[in-house]
Amino acid sequence: MLRLITHSFDVRHMPQGCATWPAIWEAGLTNWPYQGEVDILEGTNDAGPNRMTLHTSDGCTMPVNPGQTGTTLSTDCNAFVNGNAGCSVADTRGNSYGPSLNNNGGGWFAMERTDSFIKVWFWPRNGGPPSDVQNGSGQINTNNWVS
């Protein structure tokens, strides 16, 4: 199986307030949404918590009970239905987005993408990530990670 960590980053402060829409995401460069879009960190205004979402074309869904710590909001990733809600998961911790994230001094986010799944992790600043994320290790094992 192909394993690729596409992002691992330390967020110390993010824009907040009315009419803000801060996000960290990746998407195919052409022909959206057929190459997919992954929202790793996203929200609007000051409304937390973080929402992690996958937007694709028809035929991509997320299991109802995928074994995650977040709360599933929608399972159909098709950007052309359900108002482009995508496969969406809300973090269960309020300090994963906006003013609460800033008040906590930020946190760390990581994403793993393979040919069969996408996983996103968040560790608040006061909780700390695994040492391989915090220290930038060249060798990691995401199976050992707990969010």
Catalytic residue status for 42: yes
* Active-site residue (options: 14, 20, 23, 42): 42
Q: Using CA atoms, how far apart are residues 79 and 59, in angstroms rounded to an integer? A: 11
37 is catalytic: yes
CA R_g for the chain: 15
Q: Which of 108, 112, 60, 109 is nearest to 88 (CA)?
A: 60
Q: Which of these is catalytic: 16, 37, 53, 109?
A: 37
Backbone angles phi, psi at 131, to 5 degrees: -60, -30
Q: Is the Cβ–Cβ distance between 76 and 87 less than 8 Å?
A: yes
The residues carrying an active-site annotation are 37, 42
